[in-house]
Amino acid sequence: MKNIGVWMDKEKAHIITVKDDGEDIVTIQSGIENFRIHGGSGTRFKGGPQDVVQDSKYLEREKNQFKAYFTEIIPLIKDADKVVIFGPAEAGEKFNRELKENHKSISNKIEGVFKADSMTDNQTKAFVRDYFKKHKQNIT
């Protein structure tokens, strides 16, 4: 049985594969830019020129970058029997949504999506190992 845990945030993802003899961890960098939208008045005088901020342009670029990030992760988890997704931000929820919409075969293997703080590599391995151990005990 191949169980995989995915710890992810906007910056990177750790894919942890649990095996009988230990765990393997692979890290994927997201490449998602941190957008800082600037706008407002170009002068300190009332009625001066105004900069127009194009939020939609930045949001569309970020959406495409998330899609590319998820596309890198999917091949690493497609052979899993069970998958758990966890992390500190909304990236895990976005990934789960992407799988439900476009990758039903993987989506059916998802055991849960959880909020979790930033963790060391050893903590992520322990989280995944313990999660699947507890889950296995609940089935039997």
Q: Which domains does the chain have, with CATH numbers?
A: 3-31+55-139 (3.30.420.60)
Q: What is the mean pLDDT of residues 26-54?
A: 68
The 10s digit of each residue's pLDDT in 61-79 is: 889 999 999 999 999 999 9
Structure confidence at residue 140 (pLDDT) = 43
Judged by DSSP in three states, 127 sits in helix
Residue 102 CB-half CA count within 13 A: 9
Q: Give me Rg for the CA atoms of the chain.
A: 19
Query: pTM for the whole thing?
Result: 0.81
Mean pLDDT of the chain: 85
The 10s digit of each residue's pLDDT in 102-129 is: 999 999 999 999 999 888 889 999 999 9
pLDDT above 70 covers a percentage of the chain that reads 82
Cα–Cα distance for residue pair 62/70, rounded to 1 Å: 12
Q: Are 111 and 138 in contact (CB under 8 A)?
A: no
* Beta pairing partners, 82: 3
Structure confidence at residue 4 (pLDDT) = 95
